[in-house]
Structure 1
Amino acid sequence: MRKVLIGMFAMTAAASATAQSSVTLYGIVDNGIAYETGMPKGHVFGAESGGWAQSRFGLKGAEDIGGGTQAIFHLESRLNTVNGSFANGSFFEGQATVGLHNDTWGQVKLGNMGSAEISQYSGDVDPQQTEKYAIGTLVRGRIFSQAGNGIEYLSPLVGGFTVQGQYDLTNSTKWNSGSPGSAPGQLGTSSGLGSAQGRTDGIKLSYQTGSLFWQATYDEVRDPNGQFSNVYLASRSILTGGTYAIGPVVAFIGYQHLSAPDASNAGYYGTATPSTLPAGTSLPTAVNHEWLGAIWHTTTALSVTGAVYHANANRGNGNATLYTLGTNYSLSKRTLLYTELGYVRNSSTSNLGLDSGLYGANSNDDPTNSNASSTNPNYGKSQFGVIAGVATQF
């Protein structure tokens, strides 16, 4: 009898799901070819995944549970589709959440926010729309923070405004500290720095009216000890920007300030501080980052993007300017061809690169230090890159 009742319940649930639920499978596959100069060991020509948008696949669904409320879920994997690996070593690095949505009171989600951490919404005010050479380049990938063990609230649209807030519960016995188990890290941290985090939290306010869009975000990412110890990994971020559409052209402007008052060479390098850093420099505690640019929709199929980004770091680390130019051509509603050019120019004590390398000397200058990057240019030198590829969505 019990098996019969279970079978009847399963059939009833299946019929209900057919009538009231929806599940969507979606994804992006994006592969290209890149050529970059000024790398520590010379020029690089190779395959590239995610030049336009990071490859991914996911499932999302909603069930009507009455009273205008839906139960929702979202599972998303991020991929490197030139070698078949998972991004950041996690199957659902993109997102793994469940929650409730109501048009009147808003939306609450629980779980791994992953690549939906508050800082990653910066792409809304980025003229290059977080392509390969874009808003994350001169801040060494700081906007690609991850957030797990979390709760999120998203308000309904009220008078053109929306508010979104996130909080990471950390699952730790110490306030602000990292989880006793694994914790999300940041993209581009192959050395292991940033592979664990302490508490993360953030809030985003956005406003839309007519041709004007404005957004402001504040987010905190702490290290496993609960400190702001690295301006590019564990820091506070204040970011604001806006867009304005004039016919086929959308103009962008923005500003970001990063701060890490606990940053020190000893905390980053330990006792092995390399002598290859430029004289008078040390791990920065603040970075100012500005940009402006535009997207020109020349036809319904072709768009041209251009932007200039500038970042200045304190403690003698100098400044860098990134110039970008790109094109997107839609072959259909789901498939496009893209190209992007990027050129970064460094001052004498800066070595920011096109690939968001870690802080510090590159592998030419410091071949024995584990923190050395394989992509940073030499101090004071420039880098040029070009990428072209195809992306399709399903």
Structure 2
Amino acid sequence: MTRRTIRLAGVAALCGAAATATAAQGSNVTLYGRVVAGVDVQTNVQTTDGGSGTLWRGADNQWGTSMFGLQGTEDLGGGLKGLFHLESGFGAAKGKTNGDALFNRRAYIGLQGGWGKLTMGKNQPIADALWALDPTGQQFIGSATLVRGRNWQGHDNMVAYETPNLGGFSALALTSLGEQPGSASKLRKDALSLTYTAPAFELRAIYDVARDANGKYSDLFNTSKELTLGGTLSIRDFKLFAGYENLSAPDSPAGAPTKANHFWLGANYQLTPALTLIGAFYRVMVNRGGGNANLYMLGANYNLSKRTLLYASVGTVQNSANANFSVEATNNNPAPGRNQLGAYTGIAHSF
């Protein structure tokens, strides 16, 4: 037997022993992910010279985020489990992560038992709670569009507690520490989510606050108070969605908007086992001359298999004279008072 053979045999024996030990401890780790890519177009995008033009580009996260992650649990005995979750979002068109952090979506550890779940680290549970209320599943043309992504915010430095499901009712409470010397409020975020789920319907109430570096609510679409109420109703092949969102930034600079009211209605229709049709309407009204806008969206998802689907979505935003909301949740805005069309199509594969 050669040294190389002995070396490989030793590695195999160690791997086998590690796998046996892992199984004996009742732990498991799952690798998962999704890759999404396609093409995207938006009209009337304002240019730096004050003009406007049509923007063509590769589609990254318009339908949904490309991502990869690891999650695992370990049975600690007595109904108690240890858990962890690491997840990174990226854009397939350029192969870049969504931000500088390696795990830009989730990086947390925790314990779970009959009493509920306690987690610490980075997460985006409030965004996930609102995702369930959006007929598009929070696509770029969806519930985040007319609030400029305010309800997509994640939570760094988080400590969160989630109750077990009690007869259909569950709750989540969290704080996201600001890490500022001498202050417990600067840059801190807090949130509370209440959910009631039944076989045919679901109701949600979500309240979260995000403070600026001075502990104030100074930016309506960034550091503000957010209340969301909504629900879904399933009737055979239809699933109906309704939501209301109120944003408040009482510490905004003089003349800047301090309030926005946002609501939506929509539906999913399972036309065939493979084809789902989507339709939605969104409206936002902003005070202090911020204007208002209506957003209309139609889409379709077609499953080629359990893991691969084709998607297509189209929408238009109708802005009032003072508003410049984009048709997608991006900074590719039209000039104030201009309308905009947008569409994207592509393929998504999950693993």
TM-score when scaled to structure 2? 0.91
Q: What's the CA shift for 1:72?
A: 0.2
User: 8 Å contact 1:119–1:217 — kept in the other structure?
Assistant: no
The residue that corresponds to 2:340 in the other structure is 383
2:57 partner amino acid: G
- 1:166 pairs with 144, 157, 174, which one? 174
> What SS does the corresponding residue of 1:307 show, helix, strand or coil?
strand
- The C-alpha deviation readout for 1:104-141, integer Å capped at 9, x for no partner, is 2110101112xx14244211000111012000000000
Task: Work out which of the residue numbers 116, 126, 150 in structure 2 matches 1:106.
Answer: 116
AA paired with 1:121? A
C-alpha contact (below 8 Å) 2:140/2:329 kept by paired residues: no
Q: Any runs of at least 4 consecutive aligned residues in structure 1 with deviations exceeding 4 A, and if so which?
A: 9-14
Q: Quote the residue 1:27 is aligned against.
A: 33
Q: Contact conserved, 2:136 with 2:278, CA < 8 A, in 1?
A: yes
Matched, 1:90 2:101: yes
> Structure 2, unaligned stretches of length 5 or more?
1-13, 48-52
Q: Which residue number corresponds to residue 15 of structure 1?
A: 20
- Segment drifting more, 10-19 vs 296-305: 10-19
Partner deviation per Cα, 1:216-257 (whole Å, 9 max, x = no partner) = 100011112211110100000000110000000000111000
- Structure 2 CA distance, aligned partners of 1:337 and 1:356? 21
Map 1:230-241 to 2 at 5 A. Answer: 230-241=219-230
* Counterpart mapping for 1:1-394 below 5 A: 15-19=20-24, 20-41=26-47, 42-102=53-113, 104-113=114-123, 116-178=124-186, 198-264=187-253, 282-357=255-330, 375-394=332-351
Q: Does the aligned pair in 1 maintain the 2:175–2:190 contact within 8 Å?
A: yes
Q: Distance in 2 between matches of 1:250 and 1:11?
A: 48
Using the TM superposition, give the Cα deviation of residue 389 of structure 1 relative to its aligned residue in structure 2, in angstroms. 0.6
The 3 A distance-change label for structure 1 pair 121 and 88 is farther
Q: Secondary structure at the match of 1:138?
A: helix
Identity percentage of aligned residues = 38
5+ residue gaps in structure 1?
1-8, 179-197, 266-281, 358-372
Of 60-69 and 222-231, the range deviating more from structure 2: 222-231
State the one-letter code of the partner of 2:167: G
TM-score by length of 1: 0.81
Give the superposed CA RMSD: 1.7
Structure 1 residue 53, shift from structure 2 partner: 1.1
What is the CA-CA distance between 1:14 and the residue it aligns to?
5.2
Higher strand share: 2
The CA distance in 2 between the partners of 1:120 and 1:139, in whole Å, is 16
Shift of 1:294: 0.2
Deviation by residue 1:165-206 (Cα, 9 ceiling, x = unmatched): 11112222233455xxxxxxxxxxxxxxxxxxx001101000
Count of residues in correspondence between the two structures: 332
- Per-residue CA deviations over 1:294-336 (Å, capped at 9, x if unaligned) read 0001111000000000000000111000000000000000110
The code of the aligned residue for 1:17 comes to T
- For the Cα contact (< 8 Å) 2:247–2:259, is it kept in 1? yes
C-alpha separation in 2, matches of 1:89 and 1:226 = 25
Residues in 2 aligned to 1:172 and 1:117: alpha-carbon distance in whole angstroms? 23
Task: Indicate the residue corresponding to 2:7 in structure 1.
Answer: none
Instruction: Write the deviation string for residues 362-391 of structure 1: whole angstroms up to 9, x where unpaired.
Output: xxxxxxxxxxx5x11111110001100100
Residues 212 and 223, structure 2, Cα contact 8 Å, conserved in 1: yes
1:149 aligned counterpart, secondary structure: strand
Question: What is the alpha-carbon distance in structure 2 between the residues aligned to residue 89 and residue 287 of structure 1?
Answer: 30
Matched position secondary structure for 2:132: helix
Spell out, residue by residue over 1:262-318, the C-alpha distance to the aligned partner (whole angstroms, 9 max, x if none): 1116xxxxxxxxxxxxxxxx4211100000010001111000000000000000111
